[in-house]
Chains A and B, each alone.
Chain A
């Protein structure tokens, strides 16, 4: 396959970026999108150019590190998929592919396709934890909890924090990410005790980080590699309203 790539190049956070044209021959359809990017970088290095920087880690679709805007869609044209799990067979010979970083005011670009998602870390630091010393691994059946409850909490906990929800949101809202973390802990007995305080501080941090409002377009759920449900957002709204009313 031959591909025409238009890739966002930006040398650092302060400088202006632009789309740069590249041509790439001998792309194998079985390559993942990131392997295609590796092939391009190999060429660039051999030519003495600076390779395109992008985030990646496990390349198994579970770590949440990779993330690019491919042809104007978060993680590319397939719904519920990470960039590393996107394969070149989804594209045709001679296609032009636009590659941009995930964009949001809260996600400043560091270089090329690499963005600073530490705003997510600070939201977690604001309350995404249980503040007791858990010690050794406890006896699994020590705390009575139904299978359904555990599964439901796990569905929320499955968020890998890739940032596709923010990238695809027209307002760059972090509602899906924040609500998944809030719901995950609110659904478990260990987390429930602090849920009111947690929702207040995490939402405050989310707002302070300059994420936008949630318009309930539900695009985030469509693009989310883990299919985190938008009903988590509803639960966050509920928890937040209740905790605001009952706040002393």
Chain B
């Protein structure tokens, strides 16, 4: 049990915080790119496909993407190790009302994270895999037409609903995760702790609403506004 070089509980949480915050940073960049989809259709197509081409050709972005894949995998595996250990240490009660003392999403980060992981499998399959390995049609500028794939994907209401619900899972995960990461990294000054809490809530709303609005907007423009 007490081997000398075993990672401590605090180290594992630090790793969760570092990978989690990198993923938080990535979400901002991802959202900024995706907001181009809200432009008028023709402009959105030009802009979005051009942006995708630009990213896929850039060596710097390629390096960052490997850090991203590593972060996702490490974040998940570390969470698994932490959860398995916690299950072994936790006391079990016959009657349990401990939930009154904390928020449900802070206690269920694992479930929220699993929902996000399931979402990511579909998300990677439908866009990332298509773009990298699928045979995509080219647009008039010779760029791979990812825009067409995106528009086609959001034609089904259930797919849009799946996306929006997944973004809410992400939102609650971030609502605890961002603030918790600052705690795990050791931010203890009360003034900055309250700043981070406010910033984290704002960040979380922007990310959730920002990502959720895109499939809704595309669905509405295709089904209601134009028909």
Contacts and interface: CB of A to CB of B under 8 A. Distances in A.
B95 A100 contact: yes
Interface stretch (B55-63, B64-72, B102-110, B121-129): B102-110
Contacts of B100: 73
A32 to B, nearest CB: 21
Given A105-B89, A237-B186, A215 B101 contact: no
Nearest to B13: A213
B187 A234 contact: yes
A240 B12 CA distance: 12
A52 interface: no
Contact of A170 (B2, B86, B188): B86
B89 A206 contact: no
A218 interface: yes
Contact of A206 (B9, B90, B176): B9
A213 B93 contact: no
B98 A98 contact: no
Given A206-B9, A214-B9, A104 B95 contact: no
A68 to B, nearest CB: 11
Interface in A203-248: 203-204, 206-208, 210-219, 222-223, 230-242, 244
Nearest to B105: A217
Interface string B8-46: 111111100000000000000000000000000000000
30 contacts: A72-B95, A73-B97, A73-B98, A74-B98, A100-B93, A102-B91, A104-B89, A105-B90, A170-B90, A172-B89, A172-B90, A203-B10, A204-B2, A207-B2, A210-B88, A211-B9, A212-B85, A213-B9, A214-B9, A215-B106, A215-B107, A217-B107, A222-B101, A232-B188, A233-B183, A234-B186, A237-B10, A241-B14, A241-B185, A242-B186
Interface residues of A, number: 56
Contact of B102 (A219, A239, A244): A219
Interface string B168-198: 0000000010011011111110100100000
B213 interface: no
A216 B184 contact: yes
Given A100-B93, A172-B90, A231-B193, A217 B103 contact: yes
Given A69-B93, A172-B90, A241-B14, A218 B102 contact: yes
A71 B97 contact: yes
Interface string A71-110: 1111000010000000000000000001010111111000
Contacts of A215: 86, 106-107, 109, 180
Given A73-B98, A105-B88, A235-B186, A216 B93 contact: no
Given A172-B90, A234-B188, A216 B95 contact: no
- The range of chain B's interface size is 35 or more
B96 interface: yes
A241 B37 CA distance: 42
A69 B2 CA distance: 30
B81 to A, nearest CB: 9
B165 interface: no
Nearest to A164: B101
Interface of A: 6, 8, 19, 69, 71-74, 79, 98, 100, 102-107, 166-173, 203-204, 206-208, 210-219, 222-223, 230-242, 244
By Cβ-Cβ distance, the 7 closest A-B pairs, closest first, are A238-B186, A103-B91, A72-B97, A234-B188, A212-B89, A219-B101, A217-B102
A168 B101 contact: yes
Contacts of A107: 91
B contact patch SS: helix
B92 interface: yes
Contacts of A203: 8-10
A237 B183 CA distance: 8
A192 B1 CA distance: 30
A73 B101 contact: yes
Interface in B181-221: 182-188, 190, 193
A103 B94 CA distance: 10
Contact of B90 (A69, A104, A208): A104
B12 A213 contact: yes
Contacts of A71: 95, 97
Given A104-B90, A216-B176, A234 B193 contact: yes
